[in-house]
């Protein structure tokens, strides 16, 4: 039986606080909608009115509990440094959320959409795509790359590499630097030779 009736913002905050607390205690895999509802003194029905499942409620809780990360468009004067500045903060986000949580969210969310929708999101519908486009424009203006010769595959390569690193559990500073030094920079510099 629910003891105190909370509604609206008060109820939502209690649910998100409960979710965050349980996530930190038990981890993604052991967290259930039942345990969230019980800990927040509410019902699963209330949870499902607001969120479609565990992944969505955890994303909402993370937005409430993690520091706000603002993604700025880097323009250091060097493409490699711009890519480092853009992607290294992702390591901090993964560490704050914990890799198992990020993999669990990705796995659960990816099961709900088609492969075509996943590719569409990677290719166009994410916060990093327009930022990368501007980074490429700056590099083109500095004559580090020929942006006109970048294909859709080479433009989306960073996102694909990041997602792969998250899924296999090795998104860290060393991996980011390897991706930039050994894969992205040779690929982008090659546009000048084409």
Taking a C-beta distance cutoff of 8 angstroms, is the pair 173, 91 a contact? yes
Where are the extended beta strands (E) located within 32-149?
none
Separation CA 167–CA 180 (nearest Å): 18
User: pLDDT band at residue 2, thresholds of 50, 70 and 90?
Assistant: very low
User: From CA 55, how far away is CA 57, in angstroms rounded?
Assistant: 6
> What are the pLDDT digits (tens) for 138-163?
999 999 999 999 998 899 899 889 88
At 70 the pLDDT is 76
pLDDT at 120: 58
CA end-to-end distance (rounded Å), the chain: 70
Domain spanning 8-65, CATH class: mainly alpha
Q: Max alpha carbon distance in the chain (Å)?
A: 70
Q: What is the pLDDT of residues 14-50, one digit of tens each?
A: 999 999 999 999 999 999 999 999 999 999 999 999 9
Sequence spans of domains, the chain: 8-65, 79-192
3-state secondary structure of 1: coil
Residues constituting the chain: 194
Q: Tell me the per-residue pLDDT of 110-145, one tens digit each, with 9 for 90 and over.
A: 777 665 665 555 555 567 888 999 999 999 999 999
């Amino acid at each position: 039986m629910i003891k105190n009736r909370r509604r609206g913002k008060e109820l939502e905050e209690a649910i998100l606080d409960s979710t965050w607390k349980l996530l930190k205690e038990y981890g993604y895999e052991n967290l259930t909608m039942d345990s969230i509802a019980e800990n927040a003194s509410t019902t699963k029905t209330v949870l499902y009115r607001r969120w479609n499942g565990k992944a969505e409620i955890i994303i909402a809780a993370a937005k409430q509990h993690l520091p706000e990360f603002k993604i700025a468009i880097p323009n250091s004067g060097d493409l490699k440094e711009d890519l480092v500045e853009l992607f290294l903060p992702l390591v901090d986000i993964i560490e704050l959320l914990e890799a198992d949580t990020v993999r669990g969210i990705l796995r659960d969310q990816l099961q709900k959409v088609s492969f075509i929708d996943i590719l569409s999101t990677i290719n166009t519908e994410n916060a990093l795509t327009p930022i990368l486009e501007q980074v490429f424009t700056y590099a083109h203006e500095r004559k580090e790359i020929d942006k006109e010769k970048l294909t859709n595959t080479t433009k989306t390569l960073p996102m694909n590499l990041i997602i792969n690193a998250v899924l296999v559990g090795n998104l860290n500073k060393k991996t980011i630097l390897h991706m930039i030094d050994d894969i992205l920079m040779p690929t982008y510099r090659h546009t000048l030779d084409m």
